[in-house]
Copies of this chain bind each other. A is one copy, B any other.
């Protein structure tokens, strides 16, 4: 659903509501591919239940870039905007319920909204948030050790550690699965003062 945007700028609500009917609701098993690397992104994805990951393939072993959970929306942004082949695959991690809104309606909706003054503000706000997110990911790599990144993941976004298989977020943290295992056992030992 477009609930992702609902109520952030109440004046825009009528627009979201108008497009609800064009969405397709899907119940998907785990490991279902929603967008394949190399294909052009043709829809906006909203997650009602479950979680998905964005990853790319690197000589056989894949590297996860981002995770999405309930009430979050996503698409391969660059592919979507530029009609270019996606650099990433999108795949469910858990059995999930998602809503898909085909690109033509997204475009149409954007055109309608472009006349609304609040829309620009919303887009600026959203793009500032996204940008900050990715800058922080990047900065974390030049500032923190993998161990620190793991600990920040634990405190800042524990749901990832709890719900996502470890080998998926190992690549996200930039380490091998073996080393992530080492980090965990080292931290576990550190806690054992009794």
Contact = CB atoms under 8 A, between A and B. Distances in A.
Interface of A: 56, 58, 63, 65, 77-78, 81-82, 114-115, 117, 119-120, 123-124, 127-128, 130-132, 134-135, 137-139, 141-143, 171-172, 174
A154 to B, nearest CB: 19
A97 to B, nearest CB: 27
A137 B65 CA distance: 12
Q: Which 5 A-B pairs have the closest CB atoms?
A: A127-B127, A134-B134, A141-B141, A137-B138, A138-B138
14 contacts: A56-B139, A58-B143, A63-B142, A77-B128, A77-B131, A81-B124, A114-B117, A120-B120, A123-B127, A127-B131, A131-B131, A134-B135, A134-B137, A141-B174
Q: Majority SS of interface residues in chain A?
A: helix
Given A120-B119, A124-B81, A124-B123, A174 B142 contact: yes
Given A127-B130, A134-B135, A141-B174, 17 more contacts: A56-B143, A63-B139, A63-B142, A77-B128, A78-B131, A78-B132, A81-B124, A114-B120, A119-B120, A120-B123, A123-B123, A123-B124, A124-B127, A127-B127, A134-B137, A137-B138, A141-B141
